[in-house]
Amino acid sequence: MTDAYLNRRTFAIISHPDAGKTTLTEKLLLASGAIRLAGEVKAKGDRRRARSDWLAIEQKRGISVTTSAMTFEHDGAIFNLLDTPGHVDFSEDTYRTLTAVDSAIMVIDAAKGIETQTRKLFEVCRLRDIPIITYINKVDREGRDLFELLDEVADQLALDVCPRVWPLGTGGQFKGCYDLAHDRVLLPADGDVSGAFGKTIELDNPDDPRLDALIGADDIADAREAMELAREGYTPFDLKAFREGTLTPVYFGSALKEFTVAELLRDIGKFAPPPQPRKIGPQQAGAEQVSPDDDAVSGFVFKVQANMDPNHRDRIAFVRICSGRFKRGMKLKVTRTAKALAINAPIFFMAQDRQLAEEAVAGDIVGIPNHGALGVGDTLSERDGLQYTGLPDFAPEIIRRVRLDDPMKAKQMKRAMIALAEEGASQVFTPVLGADFYVGVVGALQLDVIEARLIAEYGVKATLEVCGYETVRWLGGDNEVDVQTFVTKNQGAVAHDRYGAPVYLARSQWEAGYAEDKNPGVQFLKTRERT
Ligand code: G4P
């Protein structure tokens, strides 16, 4: 048994684009000492988002930030920060990433409040009761009323809120922040908020007369009244409620000016939960979950990234270790294929570089280079037949027929499409009749990415053409005869996914519903989870 995992904090930052996720990521790395250069991250536009927000940091700094995971140490804790692509079209990828974290930071723009993407990501966190820390960013700009923002989080997300840090003035009046939990004031080092990096001064309480002199504000009385209301008018901090996902501590701050970033980092270390037990499929008699201190090593692949280095055809599977003490060189069994895989070159993604992972425990993120042995959703374990659940495939909302420009390259194309599907970037369906195959995606942007990657990485050109189908339903049900009868009767509209599971190809959502009504003995499933 190992308890080394107890200091791991595996988390993600969720936000609407432009709220400040990239800036906060960089400032967290700075505050932890993982990177040392000061400066701002500048990169704009959709192209950046289509890959990752972190690419911007990588380009700016020339450091090896992967686009999916980053590990850093601070004050005795090991932080594993996972990237969640901000673009709405990549929600499946984001969903899967959120299955690999134990907590999340929700970044909200103080001028905008809760936006659509924030809410969607929050809902995913709520499904799994992931504890959320709220960071209300950009208080150095004119924004909305602070109490209105707090109430919006409380009302719209149905959470108890507990302000931990309060800004002293906002916008042009921003003077610094007051740490309500520790009674100290955070001020810019040189007294000018346009400069960065705060200094902290311990006080007795918000009434401490030194505060008047320190911030020299004319409206100090208003600030004191607001702080009192913030302290008294909201739910007191309660670790249990936070960890159960019903209370969110709130930090007002400015990522750009590095205000309250150190406090945020400190409190992730202090309050965010260590690795939690994980659910497994029903076939493991007797057990519903695996505890992080279970002796047998296990983990699951939540993401596969191909061709990270254009000079090598490498594929890296990102594995969240869930139990045991993993050691380099170990052989783990991939449940889906029942094949043992010797893991000789596992990688940790540190903020500055990649390192060989000699040992890893629950909560750690390990990159495993492979040539196709691992796909998204796979479980690796020392135990036979173990399968983690909760990483579903979603019914695509766009289906295209793959038409090859050069028919001689059919084999290469199929290989490329399956590789993309294993990354979780798209799904591939092979119809029962005919030689075509179809690709399914959730968002239109993914189609452009697939076409571009087929040429750039696999040297094959294809047209993804409209084919009349819009979505699929996985066919299931207790009565196999009913399913088989449906498949035989509807051969023209049945295909297999890459695991061989039958799907119904529907021309519209309506048609999918109609088929479901007419075939009560068959289940038409919008998501498929491997168990
Ligand atoms: P994202 O990853 O969530 O999409 O957001 P990102 O960090 O890229 O920030 C979006 C914009 O908001 C950037 O400005 C960034 O500088 C700015 N920003 C982030 N945090 C703060 C903050 O605390 N205060 C203020 N005032 N601005 C903040 P940009 O104009 O798009 O880019 P840039 O030219 O300023 O770099």
For residue 197, name the pLDDT band (cuts at 50, 70, 90): low
The reply to whether ligand 1 has any atom less than 6 angstroms from the CB of 23 is yes
Residue 22 CB less than 6 A away from ligand 1: yes
CATH superfamily placement of domain 14-63+105-271: P-loop containing nucleotide triphosphate hydrolases (3.40.50.300)
Q: Ligand 1: distance of its center to the CA of 72 in Å?
A: 23
Asked whether the CA dihedral 192, 193, 196, 197 is positive or negative, the reply is positive
Q: If you measure from the C-alpha of residue 194 to the centroid of ligand 1, how many angstroms do you get, rounded to a whole number?
A: 15
- Note whether 110 and 18 are within 8 A (CB): no
Distance from Cα 263 to the centre of ligand 1, integer Å: 20
Which token pair is 90? 């990549």
Q: What is the DSSP string of 300-334?
A: EEEEEEE-SSTTTT-EEEEEEEEES-EETT-EEEE
Q: Is the C-beta atom of 255 inside 6 A of ligand 1?
A: yes
Domain ranges of the chain: 14-63+105-271, 278-381, 392-529
Distance CA 128, CA 418 (A): 30
- The DSSP-derived string for 444-503 is HHHHHHHHHHHHHHH---EEEEE-S--EEEEEE-S-HHHHHHHHHHTGGGEEE-TTS-EE
φ/ψ region of 432 (left if φ > 0, alpha if ψ in -120 to 50, else beta) reads alpha
Q: Above 80 in pLDDT, residue 347? A: yes
Specify the pLDDT at position 48.
38
User: Residue 508: pLDDT above 70?
Assistant: yes
Superfamily of structural domain 278-381: P-loop containing nucleotide triphosphate hydrolases (3.40.50.300)
Residue nearest to atom 24 of ligand 1 (CA): 138
Q: Residue 355: helix, strand or coil by DSSP? A: strand
**Where on the phi/psi map is residue 467: left (φ > 0), alpha (ψ -120 to 50), or beta?**
alpha
Q: Closest Cα to residue 476, out of 438, 522, 519? A: 522
- Model confidence pLDDT, tens digit, residues 357-382: 999 999 999 999 998 889 889 999 99
What is the best residue among 16, 18, 115 to mutate for testing ligand 1's pocket, by most ligand atoms within 8 Å of CB? Answer: 18
CA–CA distance, 164 with 250 (Å, rounded to integer): 6
Query: Considering only CA atoms, which residue is closest to atom 35 of ligand 1?
Result: 42
Ligand 1 contact via 137 beta carbon (within 6 Å)? yes
Q: Is 17 in the pocket of ligand 1 (CB under 6 A)?
A: yes
Q: What is the mean pLDDT of residues 43-64?
A: 43
pLDDT at residue 288 in the model? 87
CA–centroid distance, residue 20 to ligand 1 (Å): 5
Q: Which amino acid is at 283?
A: Q
* Ligand 1 atom nearest 26 alpha carbon: 7
87 CB less than 6 Å from ligand 1? no
- Distance CA(465)–CA(100), nearest Å, equals 35
Q: Is the CB of 215 under 6 A from ligand 1?
A: no
* 40 within ligand 1 shell (Cβ under 6 A): yes
For residue 523, give the H/E element and its range: strand 523-525
Helix (H, G, I), strand (E, B) or coil at 28: helix
Ligand 1 centroid, distance to 179 Cα (angstroms): 24
Domains 14-63+105-271 and 392-529 share a fold: no
| Position in ligand 1 atom list of the atom nearest CA 19 | 3
Residue with tokens 């739910």: 235
Residue to substitute in 52, 108, 197, 256 for testing ligand 1 pocket (most ligand atoms within 8 angstroms of CB): 256
Q: Collapsing DSSP states into helix, strand and coil, what is residue 90?
A: helix
Confidence bin at 111 (pLDDT 50/70/90): very high
SS3 content of the chain, % helix, strand, coil (to 5): 30, 30, 40
Residues 422-427 have a mean pLDDT of: 80
Q: Which of 95-109, 194-208, 243-257, 444-458 shows the lowest per-residue confidence on average (mean pLDDT)? A: 194-208
- Decide whether any atom of ligand 1 lies within 6 Å of the 144 Cβ: no
Whole-prediction pTM value? Answer: 0.83
**pLDDT value at 343 more than 90:** yes
| pLDDT at 499 > cutoff 90 | no
Residue closest to 372 by CA, chosen among 457, 304, 284, 292 = 304
Phi/psi class of residue 436: alpha, beta or left (left: φ > 0; alpha: ψ in -120 to 50)? beta
pLDDT at residue 57 greater than cutoff 60: no
Measured from the CA of 15, which atom of ligand 1 is nearest? 3
Helix (H) or strand (E) segment spanning residue 119: helix 116-127
Rounded-to-integer distance, Cα 46 and Cα 117, Å? 15
CB 401 near ligand 1, within 6 Å: no
What's the DSSP call for residue 4? Answer: G
What's the gap in Å between 400 CA and the centre of ligand 1? 36
Mean pLDDT value across residues 411-432: 84
What is the distance between the alpha carbons of residues 507 and 510, in angstroms, rounded to a whole number? 8
CA 384 / ligand 1 centre spacing (Å): 48
pLDDT higher than 90, residue 453: no
Q: Which residue has the higher pLDDT, 323 or 121?
A: 323
**Predicted confidence (pLDDT) per residue in 71-108, tens digit:** 999 999 999 999 886 555 556 778 888 999 999 999 99
Atom of ligand 1 nearest to the CA of 25: 7
Which one is predicted more confidently, 21 or 446? 21
Summarised one tens digit per residue, pLDDT across range 21-49 is: 988 998 898 888 887 654 433 333 433 33
Report how far residue 400's alpha carbon sits from residue 420's, in angstroms, rounded to the nearest whole number: 15
Residues in the chain: 531
Rounded to the nearest whole angstrom, what is the distance from the C-alpha of residue 233 to the centroid of ligand 1?
31
89 lines ligand 1 (CB under 6 A): no
Instruction: Check pocket membership of 161 for ligand 1, CB cut-off 6 A.
Output: no
**Those residues with Cβ within 8 angstroms of residue 19's Cβ, 6 or more apart along the chain or in another chain:** 107, 108, 109, 112, 115, 118, 137
Q: Which amino acid is at 77?
A: A
Tally of CB atoms within 10 A around 2: 15
Residue 86 CB–ligand 1 contact under 6 Å: yes
pLDDT value of position 470: 92
Residue 289 is encoded by which pair of tokens?
């979950």
Is the pLDDT at 110 greater than 50? The verdict is yes
Cα dist. 462→12, 345, 411, 491 in Å?
35, 34, 13, 26
256 ligand 1 Cβ < 6 A: yes
State the distance from the centre of ligand 1 to the C-alpha of 53, rounded, in angstroms.
Answer: 12
Strands 494-496 and 427-431: antiparallel
Contact call for residues 117 and 246 (beta carbons, < 8 A) = no
Residue 19 C-alpha to ligand 1 middle, in angstroms?
A: 7
Predicted confidence at residue 294, as pLDDT, reads 94
Residue 62: its pLDDT value, please?
A: 42
Nearest protein Cα to ligand 1, atom 17: 20
pLDDT value, residue 342: 96
Selected from 1.20.1730.10, 3.40.50.180, 3.30.70.3280, 2.130.10.10, the CATH number assigned to the domain covering 392-529 reads 3.30.70.3280
